[in-house]
């Protein structure tokens, strides 16, 4: 690969979403006297959140619906009685507090330091514009990236080719000289591949993929490809 530009996803790729989300819920539940075990909540919330993010990518639910429904459904699974006003409040407090917790995946800073001298690096994220910049700034990795492309700002979400074409254009990058690194096979890998970009799949959950797929199980393994 003759790569000049690296486009990273953020959540679940560099920024440890599950850990930071869990800590955020633990904080706001304590403040609002929500008496559920955080381990029980987190294990139920994860697949429900993933389901609603897929619906959001497919434009089948709004941002507001995603934020409400993922909590509503999780509390229903846990059989925990809670009214809609409190769910709305928790949804707001979650977004307000999420970027205060900024655990990165092991090796994030080391690999960014390794890549920075030789590549132009950028972010393409489906996360909400109001939160993603705060995550990058508060976790001290914002200076590594030249362009931050959010789906909310562009108006389309990965894997829509429009967001990848926009990212390439604003970075003045050619697709054949660019690689997308992300954890979501549909949104990051298939989306980027569809516009001719190279890809590296962050297969942190060890999904079953084809043997010829360029994958990594931890960030440090990027060194094997770049």
Q: Is the dihedral of CA 59, 61, 65, 67 positive or negative?
A: negative
> What whole-number distance in Å separates Cα of residue 118 and Cα of residue 15?
22
Q: Contact 158/183 with Cβ under 8 angstroms?
A: no
Q: How many C-beta atoms lie closer than 10 Å to residue 52's C-beta?
A: 20
Of 106, 108, 101, 111, the C-alpha closest to 135 is: 101
What confidence score (pLDDT) does residue 205 get?
86
For residue 107, is it left (φ>0), alpha (ψ between -120 and 50) or beta? left
pLDDT in tens, the chain (226 residues): 799 999 999 999 999 999 999 999 999 999 999 999 999 999 999 999 999 999 999 999 998 999 999 999 999 999 999 999 999 999 999 999 999 999 999 999 999 999 999 999 999 999 888 899 999 999 999 999 999 999 999 999 999 999 999 999 999 999 999 999 999 999 999 999 999 999 999 999 888 777 678 999 999 999 999 9
| Together in a domain, 9 and 58 | no
pTM for the full predicted model: 0.92
Q: How many domains would you assign to the chain?
A: 2
Provide CB contacts within 8 A for 24, sequence distance 6+: 94, 97, 98, 100, 101
Residue finishing a domain among 98, 133, 164:
98
**Predicted local confidence at residue 8, as pLDDT:** 98
**Among residues 221, 214, 144, which one has the least CA distance to residue 185?**
214
Question: Rounded to an integer, what distance in angstroms lies between the CA atom of residue 70 and that of residue 106?
Answer: 28
Half-sphere exposure of 37 (CA within 13 A, CB side): 5
- Residues 193 and 144 placed together within one structural domain of the fold: yes
pLDDT of residue 213: 84
User: Which structural domain range is residue 24 located in?
Assistant: 17-98
Does one domain contain both 209 and 172?
Answer: yes
The enclosing domain of 194 has a CATH number of 3.40.50.1000
Q: What is the pLDDT of residue 208?
A: 77
Give the model's pLDDT for residue 108: 98
Region of 12 please: left (phi>0), alpha (psi -120 to 50) or beta: left
Write down the pLDDT at residue 147.
Answer: 97
Q: How many residues does the chain have?
A: 226
């Amino acid at each position: 690969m003759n790569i000049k530009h690296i486009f990273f996803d953020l959540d679940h790729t560099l920024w440890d979403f599950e850990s930071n989300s869990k800590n955020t819920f633990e904080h706001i539940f304590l403040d609002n006297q929500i008496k559920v075990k955080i381990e029980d909540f987190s294990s139920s919330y994860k697949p429900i959140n993933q389901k609603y993010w897929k619906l959001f990518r497919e434009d089948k639910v709004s941002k507001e619906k995603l934020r409400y429904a993922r909590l509503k459904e999780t509390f229903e699974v846990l059989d925990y009685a809670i009214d809609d006003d409190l769910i709305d409040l928790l949804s707001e407090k979650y977004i307000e507090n999420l970027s205060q917790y900024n655990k990165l995946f092991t090796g994030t800073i080391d690999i960014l330091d390794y890549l920075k001298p030789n590549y132009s690096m950028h972010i393409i994220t489906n996360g909400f514009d109001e939160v993603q910049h705060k995550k990058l700034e508060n976790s001290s990795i914002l200076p590594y990236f030249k362009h931050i492309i959010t789906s909310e700002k562009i108006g389309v979400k990965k894997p829509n080719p429009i967001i990848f074409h926009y990212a390439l254009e604003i970075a003045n990058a050619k697709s054949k000289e660019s690689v997308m690194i992300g954890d979501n096979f549909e949104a990051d890998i298939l989306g980027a591949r569809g516009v001719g970009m190279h890809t590296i799949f962050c297969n942190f959950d060890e999904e079953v993929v084809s043997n010829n797929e360029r994958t990594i199980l931890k960030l440090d393994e990027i060194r094997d490809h770049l």
